Structure 1
Amino acid sequence: MMNNDFEVRVKDLKSRAHGHWTSILRNLGVDEDILKGKNLPCPIDGCGGTDRFQYTDKFGEGNYHCRSCGAGGGLKLAHAVRGGRFGELLDDIERMLGTARVVPAPGLSGPSLERMKKLCHQTWLQATPVAAGDEVDRYLRNRGIDQGAYPKTLRFHPALGYYEKQPGQKRSKLIATYPAMLACVQGSDGQAVTLHRTYLKDGRKALGDQSKKLLSAGINGSAVRLDEATDELAVTEGIETALAVRLRTGKPTWAALNCGNLERLWVPDRVLRVCIYADNDANAEFAGQSSAYLLAQRLVREARKAGLHRTVEVFVPRQAGTDWADIWLASLAKDRRAA
């Protein structure tokens, strides 16, 4: 029997994976023939037969049906076909989805939702609007992003604690404090879901790849809304990429924060033109492009069902390993050389 934490984890994973099981199963190494909807021998627990099994994904849950052993979903199918430890399978799927694990609050083990909301609120109030000359402004200017007036969903925190859990310890330990850029992550109802933190030092990221952290998991299609959506919306993965696209195009822009969440991004019905600015991850299994096109496919299908006349476009930088923030920086450098 699963404990409560494990059940919550499985439930969250299934929610995030909804509608994406075919690509997940393919990436996990499930035979392509199994995923084509043909009648086949059942791969579940040696059930066998000749044509009793069919994968349908009928309800977006990786659904299959076997005339002998019954029906099931993507998680059961993946575990049966791949074998191994169930926990390792969850780890692999969560990495594909871009699932961020909960970062424990200082002194808390498994914080409740109310405590997490309180922590988000307190942290936000400790910060101030981004202003010229502060550390966030310096950082963004170094990225070629000269906003003048910054979105209200971004804030500057002068000394935010950076915590890490040491081996063998149950609670996270304060390592240092750094200036930080805070970004408010909003759900479909416009309410704050959590905060995204970028730790800074001397106008640069303070901790390399570890500089960016969500305060809690479960963003489930939420976004950092740099602008209010109109009938047009540009969407990206990263915040810096969104700011660059915003400067480059003048479009209202949202950041999904990672490719797994980009696939799940909620877009209001009033948006009739969606421009998806994907990262070029040709050097990393095309994760950025794949997520962008999965989002585009879903938005088109949803619009068709709702009777909306919506246009969806995907834009990908030509060079592998680049995003639209890189393109923006390169264009600024070119302009300076030409001046």
Structure 2
Amino acid sequence: MRNLNAKTVREAAQGKWLEILSAIVPGISPSCKKVGKRSPCPVHGGVDGFRMLKKNGDGAFKGAGGCNTCGFKGDGFALLMWYRQSYNGRYVFADAVEEVGEYLNIKDRKDERNAAHNNQLEAAHIQKLREKQALDQKENDVRIRFILKKIWSETIALSEVLAEPARLYLSSRKILNWDTPGYAATLRFHPKLRSYNVDGLCEGEFAAIVALIRDAAGVPVTLHRIFLTPKGEKAPVESVKKMCPIPSDRSVTGGAIQLGIPGEILHVAEGIETAMAISMAIGAPVWPLVNTALMETFVPPAGAKGIVIWEDKDVSGGGEKAAKALQARVWALGLKCARHTPPLTVPEGGKSVDWNDVLIQLGRFGFPQSKRHAA
């Protein structure tokens, strides 16, 4: 082992730690791709305990990160030592300096025999970790299903007296069709749900509109929530709209919030409020697809002969892009498809307008009444 200057290696590694750790420590790679997002711990497993620190750019600049259970490390050397020592107790700071230096081409390669031995140890460790993660995932799926069933069992119809916050919120958006027959099977209200931020910290308990998301086959997958105050305003949380966790053997890809039973022509939009506003205006069921990502992958139900897409108008162009992608997929299936864009201009400083904004500003007459069918 050569005695490298730790200061030289440290300075060369600054700002490159995500690249370095992702390359030499496969178990940390997922977190390096999404700084601040949670992922399984590369040492003890679990589901979402590990993350690279996002604050002040510490993850990228210093290599800082860690696990809620194992603890956090202030820089990449400490993080690398923690990981290697989990299966090789002889790994020390000098080894970390040498390994990082080798990646940065600051020194010659390690002795091949030592490298091979280290690779064998790591391979055995990774195999054990995968087995443990599989078991952890199975246990986590049981927990997720329990939570989803519990939340749904505690919900009530939007027409119930206690669901006043939901009605106030929808009314403020000029949406009055919450009691549409069939909605209660998919769209409901929960009087008190906990909201958690991206770091897993509880932000408090709030009322919430709760919607059931089904996959392309109509199988329930997870729940979508809109957190509210008792007065029907958006709750003071990091993200008002949140999707619940998804069991590992389920997928929302291709799915939707199936509000109502459509005819041969199915209308779709992004958000719940937008879909309800459109349905109120045109008198037909409209399925919310939750976001642009799910809009792009939506799979029309069996029996549908055409799709009408009511897209959002975004400054970023995301709504149009998703609508075009879905339209191309629908046409490829041999079905008819039409797209409608809000006849409004995005206000200065705003990010988007949707068909709920059209209902608020123009009423039903802002909708293309004679163009409800797929072209």
- TM-score calculated relative to the size of structure 1: 0.60
2: CA distance between counterparts of 1:191 and 1:277?
Answer: 24
**Higher RCO (C-alpha under 8 Å, 6+ residues apart):** 1
Q: Aligned-pair distance for 1:188?
A: 1.7
Q: Which of residues 98, 112, 118 is equivalent to 2:140?
A: 112
Maintained 8 Å contact 1:162/1:176: yes
Q: Aligned-pair distance for 1:175?
A: 2.4
Q: What per-residue deviation string (whole Å, max 9, x for no partner) do you get for residues 280-307 of structure 1?
A: 11x12x110010011000110022xxxx
Which of the pair is proportionally richer in strand?
1
Q: State the AA in 2 paired with 1:215.
A: C
Instruction: Please say if 1:192 is aligned against 2:220.
Output: yes
1: CA distance between counterparts of 2:257 and 2:267?
Answer: 12
Alignment match, 2:119: none
Q: Which of residues 128, 140, 143 is equivalent to 2:173?
A: 143
Maintained 8 Å contact 2:203/2:237: no
Q: Give the 5 Å matches for 1:148-163.
A: 149-150=179-180, 151-152=183-184, 153-163=186-196
Alignment match, 2:329: 298
Q: Which of residues 251, 271, 286 is equivalent to 1:253?
A: 286
Q: State the AA in 2 paired with 1:270.
A: G
Alignment match, 2:342: 317
Q: Aligned-pair distance for 1:110?
A: 9.9
Q: What per-residue deviation string (whole Å, max 9, x for no partner) do you get for residues 17-48 of structure 1?
A: xxxxxxxxxxxxxxxxxxxxxxxxxxxxxxxx
What are structure 2's unaligned runs of at least 5 residues? 1-24, 35-135, 347-351, 367-375
Alignment match, 1:102: none
Q: Aligned-pair distance for 1:333?
A: 10
- Which stretch of structure 1 is more off in the superposition, 293-302 or 132-141? 132-141
Q: Which of residues 240, 244, 260 is equivalent to 1:211?
A: 240
Identical columns (%): 25
Alignment match, 2:275: 242
1: CA distance between counterparts of 2:291 and 2:201?
Answer: 26
Maintained 8 Å contact 1:160/1:179: yes
Maintained 8 Å contact 2:342/2:355: yes
1: CA distance between counterparts of 2:333 and 2:219?
Answer: 23
> What SS does the aligned partner of 2:313 have?
coil
Instruction: Please say if 1:179 is aligned against 2:207.
Output: yes
2: CA distance between counterparts of 1:274 and 1:178?
Answer: 36
Count of residues paired in the alignment: 224
Q: Aligned-pair distance for 1:204?
A: 1.3
Maintained 8 Å contact 1:232/1:251: no
- Which stretch of structure 1 is more off in the superposition, 126-135 or 153-162? 126-135
Maintained 8 Å contact 1:232/1:252: no
Instruction: Please say if 1:270 is aligned against 2:295.
Output: no
> What SS does the aligned partner of 1:128 have?
coil
- TM-score calculated relative to the size of structure 2: 0.55
Poorly superposed stretches of 4+, deviation over 6 Å? 108-111
Alignment match, 1:328: 359
2: CA distance between counterparts of 1:267 and 1:193?
Answer: 17
Q: Aligned-pair distance for 1:148?
A: 5.2
Q: Aligned-pair distance for 1:238?
A: 0.4
Q: Aligned-pair distance for 1:210?
A: 1.2
Alignment match, 2:320: 289
> What SS does the aligned partner of 2:176 have?
coil
RMSD: 2.9
2: CA distance between counterparts of 1:278 and 1:262?
Answer: 9
Maintained 8 Å contact 1:280/1:323: yes
Instruction: Please say if 1:222 is aligned against 2:250.
Output: no
Q: State the AA in 2 paired with 1:259.
A: T
Shift of the 187–148 alpha-carbon distance from structure 1 to 2, 3 Å rule, reads closer
2: CA distance between counterparts of 1:203 and 1:121?
Answer: 25
1: CA distance between counterparts of 2:157 and 2:319?
Answer: 31
2: CA distance between counterparts of 1:109 and 1:175?
Answer: 26
2: CA distance between counterparts of 1:219 and 1:265?
Answer: 9
Q: Aligned-pair distance for 1:189?
A: 2.0
Shift of the 327–191 alpha-carbon distance from structure 1 to 2, 3 Å rule, reads same
Shift of the 268–259 alpha-carbon distance from structure 1 to 2, 3 Å rule, reads same
Shift of the 298–246 alpha-carbon distance from structure 1 to 2, 3 Å rule, reads same
Q: Give the 5 Å matches for 1:62-101.
A: none
1: CA distance between counterparts of 2:192 and 2:239?
Answer: 17
2: CA distance between counterparts of 1:135 and 1:114?
Answer: 31
Alignment match, 1:36: none
Maintained 8 Å contact 2:330/2:336: no
